[in-house]
Structure 1
Amino acid sequence: MGSSVISPEDVLESLMNDGTIDTLRLKIINQLKANEELKKTTITMVEQSKVLNTPGAEKQTKRELFDALRQELETPVLERASKSVWELILDNDGLGKEINETVERVFCRLSGREPPLFSPTSSGGAAEKEEKINPSSSKKRSLSEMSMDGRVDKVVDLTSNPPAMPDEVHLVPSSSAQT
């Protein structure tokens, strides 16, 4: 079993089948809900909304206001939420570290290897060690770098739960998030 090639799809399937993906998704959702900066930013966007600050807005029905607000603010709010999700996923000390360790553990289990594959160095682990050996390789790009080259688009699809803070966040490939 140690000599077979384990694909990323194999690891993902295992993570999906054992409930790990659902657990990680729930942790991301809970951290998004607890993100006071995201809440404040969203509240500010609503308070500064053209829809609510247009004369006659008070005469519209709640549904009309909600629909207009959604049309005006959905994209910027989703972009901010997406950025927050990526920050969580790429965090080397929090959830991102947990994700990396979990994926490595599952890969090791499937391939018959003993974890950890990379022995941790001072504080940066294998990536830091690789960076010292070859400074141009294995460097994670920041979200802003990925956004600038067009690789990051809407990542979080919150449209399935419109009015309130979503109970579930669906991570979707950027190509299918174009709605």
Structure 2
Amino acid sequence: MNDGTIDTLRLKIINQLKANEDLKSTTIKMVEQSKVLNTPGAEKQTKRELFDALRQELETPVLEKASKSVWELILDGNGLGREINETVEKVFCRLSGREPPLFAPNGELQSEKGKEKKAEKGKGKEKEKEYQNENDNVDPTPKKRKLDEKTKAKDSAEEVAN
């Protein structure tokens, strides 16, 4: 699946994160209130030293907030989350050779083919149960061959080869 489907979804997530004003304002507040910038002598440090110290102090909490925002986007049943679910379903159906379901506004499958497939699955389960019942009577333990049987099999294989 190299058609860019996942890349498109990833870009949508990134763009929505960039547009998240709440996440931006929270990050700005965290930087403004950081210990690194509010310690005496911070103004004498180089930009690189300040950046490294800020990163060490704030990287984990900022990434945690970003992660929560991403999960909210992914799990959103109406926006991007729904698009992700539908895309994954379509790709799965395409890769597995199945026909994609037709979604109704309420999320139920409404196609006639979908109903037929459910009926076929029910029949298949009945056949599986019959097969299982037949196999329940078979002894599942493997039988060991005796040495004589092994040598006879080896001899007959050599005869066939010659």
Whether TM exceeds 0.5 here: the answer is: yes
Describe the superposition over 1:10-59 as per-residue Cα deviations: whole angstroms up to 9, x where unpaired: xxxx2xx1111111111111000000000000000001000001111111
What's the counterpart of residue 102 of structure 1?
87
Question: Quick one: percent identity of the two aligned structures?
Answer: 86
Distance 2:72 2:46 in 1: 37
| 2:32 equivalent among 37, 47, 50 | 47
- What per-residue deviation string (whole Å, max 9, x for no partner) do you get for residues 39-89 of structure 1? 000000001000001111111111111110000000000111111111111
Q: Separation in 2 of the partners of 1:86 and 1:120? A: 25
TM-score relative to the length of structure 1: 0.57
Structure 1, unpaired ranges of 5+: 1-13, 127-179
Question: Scaled by the length of structure 2, what TM-score is found?
Answer: 0.63
Give 1:115 shift.
Answer: 2.0
More helix per residue: 1 or 2? 2
**After the TM superposition, which residues 3-82 of structure 1 pair with which residues of structure 2 at under 5 Å, given as runs?**
14=1, 17-82=2-67
* Aligned: 1:114 with 2:99: yes
C-alpha RMSD of matched pairs (Å): 1.7
Aligned match of 2:135: none
Can you give the 5+ residue segments of structure 2 that lack an aligned partner in the other structure? 110-162
How many correspondences in the alignment? 109
Alpha-carbon shift at residue 125 of structure 1 (Å): 4.7
Structure showing greater radius of gyration is: 2
Partner of 2:34: helix, strand, or coil? coil
Aligned to 1:26, what secondary structure does the other structure show? helix
